[in-house]
Amino acid sequence: MREEFSRGRRYPEPRHPYRSEFARDRDRIIHARAFRRLEAKTQVFTTRYSDHFRNRLTHTLEVTQIARTVSTALGLNSELAEALALVHDIGHPPFGHAGERKLDQLMRAHGAGFNHNLHALRIVEQFEHRYLEFTGLNLTFEVREGIIKHSRDYDASSFPQLAEYLLDLRPPLESQLIDWVDEIAYNTADLDDAREAELLDLGLLSAAVPLFGDAYDRVNRAYPAAKKKLKFSEALKNVLNALASDLIETTAARAGEASVATVDEIRRHPQRLAGLSEPIAAQNARLKQFLVKHIYTHPFITEDRDHSVSCLERLFHLFLGKRDSMPPDHEQQALTVPRHVVVCDYIAGMTDQFLLKQYRDHFAAPPETSSWHG
Ligand code: MG
């Protein structure tokens, strides 16, 4: 995607003397308030046990690093890829996917729903207030399109509000890459954090995921006396490298076979072209299954998560039912916008810690969880 083919910004702006349009978008995202809040949102592991775990901000930086490498190796626009990676999780509510599922469920009772990609678009279009001449960040079309389309397709009949985003066409390769890069980043990082949390059984992992097991055996043969932690890191680095390299090679090969040379041809191609080869996709799937079976469902993760999500739910009902329970600007908004929408936006914008503090302020901690916050 070359910037001279960009469909531009909603509100036209003069060019910057020395930054490209996509570089400006990247910089606007980094300076956004919602971006800073990622620091206090859980990725998988809460900070209850260690400060070394990833949070959604450090996860985002890791995704960005891989996106830059992959997009550069493929000769794509790495500034666009970087902007898309930096913004890809900006719409996440507190408590990760569990928080998203709960908000969605709560909103369904009102005939609506919640989805972090759609929420991200509203953040960059409406909720960020930094500029005199427009609300939102006034990002280029391609970055807004990528926010919507980086992980899935939306059909125009169910999402009429997204009609401008060329829903019958594929997004540029820079955007197609993001979902894969995200997965490569979290599959490997979650193993690393699981090892830090001492939840990881290396023998079980090696047996379940030969891509890891073979890498670990190679490292073990070369450095039999090395510390287990370093052998693990080296093997994990090999896995990340194998996944990223395969993404680069497979995407390049598919683009070659499809003989697409321009962003328009990529858009019009019937399938997305970015992806992993079949054998590596199978290994990646096994890695994901391992994480679901042994890590994401471990009480170490689920206890904190279930407690937090129940706090979110109680706050939602409180804000919904009680006038003047939200800050004045939100209460003001609720005079013209359905109250459940305002409540959902208010909660979705909270960091984990802010939500838990709101919970403490509004509800006395029940006896069985009174020691939970330390
Ligand atoms: Mg992510």
Q: What is the CATH number of the domain that holds 180?
A: 1.10.3210.10
How would you classify residue 19: left for phi > 0, otherwise alpha for psi between -120 and 50, otherwise beta?
A: beta
Task: Among 3-17, 98-112, 152-166, name the one with the lowest average pLDDT.
Answer: 152-166
Q: In angstroms, how far is the first alpha carbon of the chain from the final one?
A: 50
- pLDDT > 80? residue 180: yes
CA dist list (Å): 324 to 318, 327, 334:
10, 7, 10
What b/e string do you get for 335-365 counting C-beta neighbours within 10 Å, with b at 16 or more?
eeeebbebbbbbbbbbbbeebbebbeeeeee
- pLDDT > 90? residue 68: yes
Q: Are residues 186 and 49 in the same domain?
A: yes
Spacing, Cα 308 to ligand 1 middle (Å): 20
| Average pLDDT rounded to a whole number, residues 145-169 | 86
Q: Are residues 247 and 340 in the same domain?
A: no
Q: What are phi and psi of 140, to 5 degrees?
A: -65, 160
- pLDDT > 80? residue 370: no
- pLDDT > 90? residue 47: no
Query: pLDDT grade, residue 152 (50/70/90)?
Result: confident
* Chosen domain end from 300, 320, 342: 300
- pLDDT > 70? residue 186: yes
| Average pLDDT rounded to a whole number, residues 238-246 | 98
- pLDDT > 50? residue 193: yes
Q: Are residues 240 and 276 in the same domain?
A: yes
pTM, two decimals, is 0.93
Q: Are residues 170 and 148 in the same domain?
A: yes
Spacing, Cα 288 to ligand 1 middle (Å): 14
Candidates 143, 124, 166; CA nearest to 22 is 143
Contact residues for 315 (Cβ-Cβ < 8 A; gap 6+): 347, 355, 358, 359, 362
Contact between residue 168 and residue 156 where contact means Cβ atoms under 8 Å apart = yes
Spacing, Cα 114 to ligand 1 middle (Å): 17
Q: Quick one: pLDDT at residue 373? A: 42
Spacing, Cα 371 to ligand 1 middle (Å): 31
* Chosen domain end from 285, 300, 315: 300
Q: Are residues 290 and 313 in the same domain?
A: no
Spacing, Cα 59 to ligand 1 middle (Å): 7
Q: Quick one: pLDDT at residue 371? A: 44
| Average pLDDT rounded to a whole number, residues 128-132 | 92
- pLDDT > 50? residue 243: yes
Separation CA 199–CA 44 (nearest Å): 13
Q: Are residues 270 and 349 in the same domain?
A: no
- pLDDT > 60? residue 156: yes
Contact between residue 81 and residue 179 where contact means Cβ atoms under 8 Å apart = no
| Average pLDDT rounded to a whole number, residues 236-249 | 98
Share of the chain above pLDDT 90, in %: 86
Spacing, Cα 359 to ligand 1 middle (Å): 26
Number of domains in the chain: 2
- pLDDT > 60? residue 179: yes
Task: Among 276-285, 296-305, 360-369, name the one with the lowest average pLDDT.
Answer: 360-369
**Residue span of the structural domain in which 335 resides:** 301-372
| Tokens coding 153 | 């397709």
Q: Quick one: pLDDT at residue 372? A: 43
Task: Among 25-34, 45-54, 349-358, name the one with the lowest average pLDDT.
Answer: 45-54
Contact between residue 197 and residue 231 where contact means Cβ atoms under 8 Å apart = no
Candidates 42, 37, 36, 88; CA nearest to 62 is 88
Q: Quick one: pLDDT at residue 374? A: 34
More confident residue, 364 or 251: 251
Q: Quick one: pLDDT at residue 43? A: 85
Q: Are residues 194 and 65 in the same domain?
A: yes
Q: Are residues 267 and 355 in the same domain?
A: no
Separation CA 241–CA 246 (nearest Å): 8
Q: Are residues 75 and 131 in the same domain?
A: yes
- pLDDT > 90? residue 288: yes
| Average pLDDT rounded to a whole number, residues 12-22 | 96
Task: Among 22-36, 148-162, 324-338, 341-355, name the one with the lowest average pLDDT.
Answer: 148-162
Q: Quick one: pLDDT at residue 150? A: 77
| Average pLDDT rounded to a whole number, residues 118-126 | 95
Q: Are residues 255 and 331 in the same domain?
A: no
Cα-based torsion angle of the residue sequence 226, 231, 232, 233 in order, rounded to the nearest 10 degrees: 110
Spacing, Cα 212 to ligand 1 middle (Å): 22
pLDDT digits (tens, 9 = 90+) for 208-237: 999 999 999 999 999 999 999 999 999 999
pLDDT digits (tens, 9 = 90+) for 292-323: 999 999 998 899 899 999 999 999 999 999 99
Spacing, Cα 115 to ligand 1 middle (Å): 14
